A and B are shown apart, each in its own frame.
Chain A
Amino acid sequence: MKKSLVLFLLLAMVVSLAGCSGSGDKNGGADANEIKIGINYELTGAVASYGESSVNGILMAFDEINAAGGINGMKIVPVQFDNKSEPAEATSLATRLMTQEGVVAALGPATSGNFMATIPVAMGNKVPIISASATADKGVTVDDKGNVNEYVFRLCFNDSFQGVTMANFAFNNLNATKAVIIQDNSSDYGKGLAENFKATFEAAGGTIVAHEGYVAKDKDFNAILTSIKGKDFDVIFIPGYYQEAGLIIKQARDQGIDAPILGADGFDSPVLLELAGAEALNDVYFSNHYSSIDEDPLVKEFIKAYKEKNGVEPNAFNALGYDLGMFIADAVERAGSADPEAIKDALAETKGFVGVTGTFDMGEDHNPIKSAVVIGLENGVQATSVKVDPN
């Protein structure tokens, strides 16, 4: 009996502790020299690597700003929580950040699903949220009925934009007029990319001479490749992920198809090189958010600073996170106050923001009008990078 009494006391303590911590930080935003910005990211769970990379970039940006004197003399105070890669936890944390911690804006989560789970909270509390990597086409900044979610922003292009980018790149940079599409039929990503590539390429005056499809986990693409081999075309566009793309590239080169092969950020993985082999990865181009071989001085400086601080080369998520930190600071400065409403307006009115991942204006639909980087591979390594503007 005594034991159970002790246990109950212990439980009571835990519960009351919980109550305290839940209602403790209610004086959010009271200090005039501080700006609280919420960080709601995946630090544990399935996609922890995305979250952690992004947060590294964000914090680096905040440190730089605070070291330089803050925004109009106000220091940025990041309020950081881990959403365990779970949408319900992301919802809970967004609510906490906005109602308990008094943040003026919340950054993240990194993935589209978790980000979407926080949209109703942002709309209800009228606090802006921004993601640097939620690239889903539907349901992010614009809802199902076509209305813009007023408090929701992102600073990455969406999936289908890359289709447009690659079509422009093929037509303008590679002077291609005839293209073949081999698309991944099993993902929205592949379908969206293919549709947008086709529309843009045809509008520019090109023709699609063949449109083939496969499903994820396919291994043998020789039938498709044989059927297109006899046709006359300049480029092959493969909207899909690196597992299948790697095999398609290898089998195409084995068959003697040496036309340039194009893809999107789904190619961005070391596995592509393992599957295709270095000698097959020539004349392969794919769009990405950022390239580490970019000659832009801003990018070079970022890479140098990041290496000094963390000892490793920054990846695309680090770069996007860094830009996100700089972007929100820029918006707060332009808003001139710590009022979420004013910050939201400043975010929407962004013109010519210069970031590591590109220069952009915020579009009507709260998606950035932003250039993508097209990376060219030579013997499996990044050899060229070209910025392609949206128009």
Chain B
Amino acid sequence: MKKTIASIAVGVVAAVAATGAYAQGQSTLATVKARGQLACGANTGLAGFGVPDAQGTWTGLDVEACRAIAAAIFDDPNKVRFVPLSAKDRFTALQSGEADVLIRNTTWTMSRDTSLGLNFVGVNYYDGQGFMVRKKLGVSSALELNGASVCTQQGTTTELNLADFFRANKLKYEVVAFASADETVKAYDAGRCDAFTTDASGLYAERLKLANPDEHIVLPEIISKEPLGASVRHGDDQWFDIVKWTHFAMLNAEELGVTKANVNDMLKSENPEIKRLLGVEGNFGESIGLTKDWVVRIVKHVGNYGESFERNVGEGSRLKIKRGQNALWSKGGLQYAPPIR
């Protein structure tokens, strides 16, 4: 009995010590540098956003955002360890320090930003929730889904929006919630549900996994705002700045026409904005604990936001998603970065 109590106590102490470790330790940047690697919370597998290929190399829009941070810190986009996380486990992993940053198609909401002990840094993909159904059901609008069974992933904003949508439109439905995206898609494919719902980008990505992708259509309704972005833990402002400005740097690079191919030529540019961006003038990188040439590193290894978008989810990919809301503000989209000056 005594032994039992003692071991319980040891267990509790160990657990709590683990929870507390990050809160007192050194800055996240110092931890990452000491480790020689960035730990990045990633999706377990979502085509176009975060998925390991046959060789085990991670690719995707979210994955490249991680690589950009690693490039800025280490001048090496491969110094990242990807921590595959399900929707349900992702916040706990970030809170407990298992990941330094969470870039895993995660919707920025007020409750997540305020009560989970984390901060969202920005929006790297403007998304919205949609539905996919079998063509043979003859459904052309989500409003016709009265009485349908809907498969979704648990612990997501999707689950909540789904409830709101059906309630607001006075429709009945049956929700079948699964822990992982894979199980959800499999159950939908097996006929357990009439409809599958997730972010529209996810619908296009998951449709590729179905037995006969052509037998399914995505309904036109977008029922929610899903700003997807990176998040970091509360309490380390320097780290918050690094992740935030890495994202803005990629947007600014696109806006100023700095690409992977021309970044070295651009160093000679006379444009003062480009000079500041690439560290030729001013000392912006060092003000957030990085080097002067931080943006050069990012663009050299990863490219600007537009390049990353096209390669992973845009016309250059299997998903063929249009830029739409994710175009730069100057081209009618919502992507807008504050200036570097």
Report whether chain A binds chain B: no
